[in-house]
Amino acid sequence: MATDDLMTRALDALGDDAPLSVEAIHSLTDAAHVPEPMTIAEVADLLDISPHTLRYYERAGLVEVARDGYGHRVYDAAAVRRLVFLTRMRLSGMPMRDLQHYVALVDAGTETVPERLDMLLEHRDTIRRRIRELTLSLAATEYKIATYGGSTGPDVQDL
Amino acid sequence: MATDDLMTRALDALGDDAPLSVEAIHSLTDAAHVPEPMTIAEVADLLDISPHTLRYYERAGLVEVARDGYGHRVYDAAAVRRLVFLTRMRLSGMPMRDLQHYVALVDAGTETVPERLDMLLEHRDTIRRRIRELTLSLAATEYKIATYGGSTGPDVQDL
DNA sequence: GTTTGCGTTCGAGCGCGCTCGAAGCCCTAG
DNA sequence: CTAGGGCTTCGAGCGCGCTCGAACGCAAAC
């Protein structure tokens, strides 16, 4: 299971303060300890999204899900793995359209690997830019907090 | 000018790789070297948003802007400062509604400082959570890139 | 046997944050 | 004198990503 490696690296990257949120760990442990075929409710629970959203993703062509005798969705390991990946990409801001393109590439076979790789590299850069931007905003916010909370002098600005 | 401090701290926080983007520096240098009263086009340029958006913000009650003899908007230093702050908060994900509340507090006077501080503290935590989440997604993306680009072995997965 | 509960499909609706178009005013350049 | 450009207001429209409601099916519990 590559999961442990991933988690380790993620933890390393995060560093120190504040323990990793339960949901975050959850969303990385791609179905190692969970029942093999899952119901929509179980998957929704695992991914912390609504069954509505899962159906929406399926309608959008992001994943195919089999049905049981009653017409109920049955998520196998592959579907769950794909959804774990998709939700992580969504969480990091990749648009639906790009994900649709990506899964189309996946379904098109291994000769699309280079293009998939390109997409991932670009997304990696997007995430990095976003983190830098947020870090900047964080500094600005902390500065403002300092002017409000750290001093009662004449330096308190009007905003 | 507190700007230098802020920028220094931001840069420290960012650390090392990749130079700070020009826009980022721009949006931190709250109007020190720019013309005193500015036109909408100048402010739009400074903040890297559209005049449409600036009018929208004004309609939303985020900022009051004077008019000149022709009815054209005239942004004074205070308005520009506020807009710099607002766009930074927007960029870091604070909803319009919260910003509307915040500026209402500002306009209500200094007795609302504690509540403003609360908002900023909460937003700071939101940003931090978001950064952690993105860091996690970044690790996941890099892991995936490694499986695609780093090996040609049998470990390449189907997604 | 009826109620409760979880699932299904389908299409419509919504919240957010812009984004745009129309119609008009004013100034300047050619 | 006219054309162009940049501004104004106002209301409508849009793209995204869900989110929901209606009408229905099946099954286990009471």
What are A12-49's pLDDT values in tens digits?
555 444 444 444 444 455 445 567 799 999 999 999 99
Residues 74-93, chain B: which have Cβ within 8 Å of A? 78, 81-82, 85, 88-89, 91-92
Q: Is residue B10 part of a domain?
A: no
Q: Is residue A15 part of a domain?
A: no
Mean pLDDT of chain A, nearest integer: 83
Please enumerate in sequence order all residues whose Cβ is within 8 A of that of A19, keeping only pairs 6 or more positions apart, or say none.
none
Q: Is residue A101 part of a domain?
A: yes
Q: Is residue A131 part of a domain?
A: yes
Split into its structural domains, chain B has a count of: 1
- A72: nearest nucleotide, CA–C1' criterion: C7
Give the bases of strand C that a protein CB approaches within 7 Å. Answer: 6-10, 16-21, 26-27
Q: Is residue A138 part of a domain?
A: yes
Q: Is residue A135 part of a domain?
A: yes
Q: Is the pLDDT of residue B155 over 50?
A: no
Q: What is the pLDDT at residue A22?
A: 44
Q: What is the pLDDT at residue B149?
A: 77
Q: Is residue A92 part of a domain?
A: yes
CB of B9 within 8 Å of any CB in chain A?
yes
Q: Is the pLDDT of residue A135 over 80?
A: yes
Please give the residue that has the higher pLDDT: either A140 or A32: A140
Q: Is residue B153 part of a domain?
A: no
The pLDDT > 70 percentage for chain A reads: 72
Q: What is the pLDDT at residue B148?
A: 84
Q: Which residues of B touch A136 (CB under 8 A)?
A: 10, 13-14, 20, 24, 28, 88
Q: Which of A35-49, B11-25, B141-155 has the highest mean pLDDT?
A: A35-49
Q: Which of A63, A120, A159 to mutate to test the interface with B (most CBs of B within 10 A)?
A: A159
Q: What is the CATH number of the domain that holds B30?
A: 1.10.1660.10
Full residue range of the structural domain in which residue A45 is found:
20-143
Burial code (b: 16+ CB inside 10 Å, e: under 16) for A108-119 equals eeeeeeeebeeb
- Residue A128: closest CA among B28, B22, B11, B139: B139
Instruction: Detail the protein residues whose CB sits closer than 7 A to any atom belonging to strand D.
Output: A 49-50, 52-53, 55-56, 69-70, 90, 95-97; B 39-41, 51, 55, 67, 71-73
Q: What is the pLDDT at residue A123?
A: 97
- Residue B90: closest CA among B71, B106, B103: B103
Q: What is the pLDDT at residue A108?
A: 95
- A91: nearest nucleotide, CA–C1' criterion: D17
Q: What is the pLDDT at residue A152?
A: 46
